[in-house]
Homo-oligomer: A and B are copies of this chain.
Amino acid sequence: MTLKDYAALVEDRLNELLPEAAEKTPGIDETPWLLNNAMRYSLMAGGKRLRPAMLLACADMLGASREEAMIPACALEMIHTYSLIHDDLPGMDNDTLRRGRPTNHVVFGEGQAILAGDGLLSLAVELMIGNVMAHPDNYAGGIRAMNEIVRGAGVSGMVGGQCMDLYCEREGLCDERMLSYIHMNKTARMLISPLRAAAALAGYAPESPEWKALTAYGVNFGLLFQAVDDILDVVGDEKTLGKSVGKDAAEGKLTYVALYGLEGARKRADALAGEARASLAPFGGRAAFFLDLLDSMAHRAS
């Protein structure tokens, strides 16, 4: 199974979980069509489904139930999408284009975009709770998986990273320690949590060598992801990327390229990929998906 194969599974399931709704006054206890369609607009906007694919691939590698892993995987993508909607708002990054389409608030208005984000986070949690209740034989694993996803996206994770990113941008100050906080929490945490969630579903404890190896992979892969992002903002193609380039330099942002230069950033990316590769040793041939992922990440153009 490749990234594309897993992405197709996720795409289908997301489409089932949040189908297009027709306009009508909602019955009590129903989701309004408008909220449904605003959430769907951003959720089905052609993302790469990287995070849910990693969760499913890791579940397969560790022998967890793919059926049980599907809802946490979709929930993770909903949380990722909510963060993009809120990030694009005028009060945050004020972006009007995302993946080549107008951003959520441009289409639905600012208030509805805030609610679409709130709704996707709420729906993600609802679905995961339902999934835990549907698998009473694995209560502990299901709750621990949900815990990893929610904590990774929360105040000491993604939201914390966003807060410091916005703060540094507005205050115009950022040192290397702060930058490393932002990369780790805004970017890497949401790439670590799919692996840990799958490990929790498979019954691995945080003390196990597998958990530690997966965390090491996630950290290095997450930082590699960020380094490549920074490099692409300098050398990438706007059309292929679906977003404007050169923004970081124009805004004087502290990036891998600003810190180490273009060649230095590439060397740093290679080193991170090497670390990530080494951490997969305990899984041997079962880790093919994650080895391939490193190669495609290192060579990605979008």
Contacts and interface: CB of A to CB of B under 8 A. Distances in A.
B115 A163 contact: yes
Number of copies: 2
Given A150-B129, A163-B115, A109 B91 contact: yes
B91 A31 contact: no
A162 B126 CA distance: 18
B118 A117 contact: yes
Contacts of A153: 122
Given A28-B181, A34-B167, A159 B129 contact: no
Interface string A176-189: 01101100110000
Nearest to A105: B91
A160 B26 contact: yes
Contacts of A163: 32, 34-35, 112, 115, 119
Task: Choose among A90, A91, A157, A178 the residue with the greatest number of B CB atoms under 10 Å from its CB.
Answer: A91
Contacts of A89: 91, 110-111, 114
A121 interface: yes
A20 to B, nearest CB: 15
A170 interface: yes
Contact of A26 (B31, B39, B125, B164): B164
Contacts of A151: 126
A61 interface: no
A62 to B, nearest CB: 21
Task: Choose among A115, A123, A147, A181 the residue with the greatest number of B CB atoms under 10 Å from its CB.
Answer: A115
Contact of A154 (B28, B105, B119, B181): B119
Interface stretch (A46-54, A138-146, A251-259, A288-296): A138-146
Nearest to A161: B32
A171 to B, nearest CB: 10
Nearest to A175: B25
Nearest first, the 9 closest Cβ-Cβ pairs linking A and B are: A91-B110, A122-B154, A35-B163, A31-B155, A119-B155, A92-B111, A91-B111, A119-B159, A31-B156
Interface of A: 25-32, 34-36, 39, 82, 86, 89-92, 105, 109-115, 117-119, 121-123, 125-126, 129-130, 132-133, 136, 139-140, 143-144, 146-147, 150-151, 153-157, 159-160, 162-164, 166-167, 170, 175, 177-178, 180-181, 184-185
Given A35-B160, A92-B110, A112-B163, 6 more contacts: A25-B181, A26-B160, A28-B180, A34-B163, A109-B170, A129-B147
23 contacts: A27-B181, A31-B155, A31-B160, A32-B160, A34-B164, A34-B167, A82-B118, A86-B114, A86-B118, A89-B114, A90-B110, A91-B111, A91-B113, A112-B167, A117-B118, A119-B159, A119-B163, A121-B121, A122-B150, A122-B159, A129-B150, A133-B147, A143-B143
